[in-house]
Amino acid sequence: MSDLDAPRTSLRSPRVADAPAVWRLVRDSDILDTNSLYYYNLWFRDFADTSVVATTEDDRVVGFVTAYVRPSRPDTLMAWQSAVDPGPHAPGLAMRMLHALADRAAARGATRVETTINPGNRAVALMLRRFARERGLDVHTEVLFGSEDFPGDEEHTHPPEVLYRMPPAAPSPRRPATADAALSTR
CATH number for the domain that contains residue 50: 3.40.630.30
Query: What is the span of the domain harbouring residue 111?
Result: 9-181
Residue 114 inside a domain? The answer is yes
φ, ψ at 44 (rounded to 5°):
-75, -20
| Distances in whole angstroms, Cα of residue 156 to Cα of each of 28, 30, 131 | 18, 13, 31
Number of structural domains in the chain: 1
Residue 94 inside a domain? The answer is yes
Residue 53 inside a domain? The answer is yes
pLDDT digits (tens, 9 = 90+) for 117-152: 988 888 889 999 999 999 999 999 999 999 888 887
The DSSP letter of residue 156 is G
Residue 1 inside a domain? The answer is no
First vs last C-alpha separation in the chain: 27
Strand duo 73-84 + 112-117: pairing = parallel
Q: Which portions of the chain are predicted below pLDDT 50? A: 1-5, 173-182, 184-186
Written as one string, the DSSP assignment of 75-95 is EEEEEEEEEE-SSTT-TTHHH
Residue 183, pLDDT score = 53
Residue 2, pLDDT score = 43
| Distances in whole angstroms, Cα of residue 91 to Cα of each of 9, 49, 72, 73, 97 | 11, 24, 34, 32, 12
Residue 86, pLDDT score = 84
Residue 63 inside a domain? The answer is yes
Residue 33, pLDDT score = 85
Residue 156, pLDDT score = 72
Residue 4 inside a domain? The answer is no
Secondary structure (3-state) at 146? coil
pTM of the full structure: 0.83
Residue 151 inside a domain? The answer is yes
Residue 48 inside a domain? The answer is yes
Of 136, 139, 109, nearest in space to 126 by CA: 139
Residue 6, pLDDT score = 54
